[in-house]
Amino acid sequence: MKKKPENNFTIVIDSRENHPYKYSQSVVKALKSGDYSILGLEDRIAIERKTKEDAFSSLGAGRARFEKEMERLSGYDYGAIVIESNLDDFLNPPAFTQMNPKAAINSLISWSVKYKVFIFFASDRRHAEALTYRILEKYFKHRSGMTAKQIEDAKKDGYLPRKKEERHETTNDRLNNRR
């Protein structure tokens, strides 16, 4: 599914992603964490994509590695996991797993709260692709703190924007923290 770039940002697709989504304005390069980000903001936002089968695998045999991924995502301004399954379907585990689906859901909820990482269920791959795009788009619009021109200039200069905690607190930051 090709997306028109509405906000003039470029999506970064991790070079290790096996079945990447297709976006019209994207580049492929290694990401420290996650499968998708925004060029110039790779240190601030990361989205991890999971199929239902991959999620169960990660919560079972790959549990320690997946929890480390959650820890890494928690260090971002915005970290999320998008699962290519709706919740009802997720409760019907893949044939290969012995994991109770309720235990899988409880792990996701627990780690989401513990690591402050958002978990999204999308009904299928097409919807997960669109959801991933919208999350990146809204982050760029509301949280990047930079215009598209500033991002392009920063890319040209090799500058990566500072993380939120490294910026000076502004009046807007103080007001937003009161909510």
Q: What is the CATH number of domain 11-178?
A: 3.40.50.10130
- How confident is residue 174, by pLDDT bands cut at 50, 70 and 90? very low
Rounded mean pLDDT of the chain?
Answer: 85
With CA atoms as reference, report the closest residue to 81 among 50, 124, 113.
50
| CB within 8 Å of 4: residues ≥ 6 apart | 24
Distance CA 23, CA 35 (A): 13
pLDDT for residue 117 = 97
pTM for this entry: 0.77
pLDDT in tens, 95-146: 999 999 999 999 999 999 999 999 999 999 999 999 999 999 999 988 777 6
pLDDT at 161 over 60: no
pLDDT for residue 143 = 79
Average pLDDT value for residue range 68-93: 96
